[in-house]
Amino acid sequence: MNKTNKVYLIFPYEHEGKKYVEAYPLHHEIRELLTVAPVYRLLTTKVSRNQARKYAYKLWINPSGKGYNKYPISPSQYVPFKEQWE
């Protein structure tokens, strides 16, 4: 089975003193998305969102990638959106 790469916006952020990374697929108008995304960000092409997050983890948290399997799920589903961007 041939998997196709997709474009993701990746970025690091902190919440309550812990460092996190996130990856959002680009299926919105890119200008609209970049107006709400943090300034410190990159675009990457990966097969899955998990692979994009792993790449971001290696870039901004631990270059060896160690600890990614224990990395918590993004708190974005548990905290109000505004709190993440303050």
Angle at 82 between CA 33 and CA 63, to 5 degrees: 70
**pLDDT tens sequence for the chain (86 residues):** 568 888 898 888 887 788 888 888 887 666 666 666 666 788 899 999 999 999 999 999 999 988 887 766 665 555 554 444 44
The per-residue b/e assignment along 40-75, b for 16 or more CB within 10 angstroms, e otherwise, is: ebeebebeeeebbbbbbbeebbeeeeeeeeebeebe
pLDDT at residue number 55? 94
Q: For position 48, what pLDDT does the model report? A: 92
pLDDT at 47: 94
How do the domains of the chain map onto residue ranges? Answer: 6-85
Q: What is the pLDDT of residue 75?
A: 59
Asked whether the whole model's pTM tops 0.85, one would answer no
